[in-house]
Amino acid sequence: MKNIVILISGGGSNMAAIVKVARREGWQEKWRARVAAVISNKASAGGLVFAREQGIATEVLDHKTFASREAFDEALSTAIDRFDEPGQPALVVLAGFMRILTPGFVSRYEGRLLNIHPSLLPAFPGLHTHQRALDAGCKVTGVTVHQVTADLDHGPILAQAVVPVLAADTAADLAARVLTQEHLIYPRAIADLLQK
């Protein structure tokens, strides 16, 4: 079984989209793949409720209780590794996980650590992407699914979707339109990986 472990920090809408598509499209039957666990660094993350309702294992690791970023990442690795099957290491999917991961963590999951970013990378890595796109006068923006490397938001691109920027857009308007594309592109990018 190819286990997928999803990391979240908040509402988990991308996680929910992945779970729904996986079930609707029968990933378990087609590719022996399933969302096995959802892990959050915040006990208040709304996505944990959805995951539990779906019968998915959940865990909370509060990053504030760890002495260092490295200590947190080590505990996170231990939690993820419980879902590694022999010869089938888990796919680790960041879905609104608002933590910068250490190089050691990224190296440990190299090639199987994915992220989604709300811009057309390499444009606008980091935070406040929608406002930055508006400030730059962009006519289009979008979303990128990429493999995670030690460089923030700079890993190999797996998929992108373009979203037009409208004249009257606020950052919130743009974020809402980009999010609808995130929910489509992230499950598709994961499915493409599972088929290989």
Instruction: Provide the CB-side half-sphere exposure for 1 (13 A, CA).
Output: 10
- Angstrom CA distances, 31 to 3, 17, 189, stand at 11, 18, 14
CA atoms within 13 A on the CB side of 105: 22
β-bridge partners, 40: 8, 60
> Looking at 117, 128, 130, 183, which residue is catalytic?
117
- Segments of the chain assigned E as strands: 2-8, 33-40, 57-60, 91-94, 113-117, 140-147, 157-164
Take residue 111 and report the two structure tokens written for it: 């090639």
Answer yes or no: are the C-beta atoms of 93 and 114 closer than 8 Å: yes
Residue 63 falls in the annotated catalytic set: no
Residues annotated as catalytic (active site), given as ranges: 117
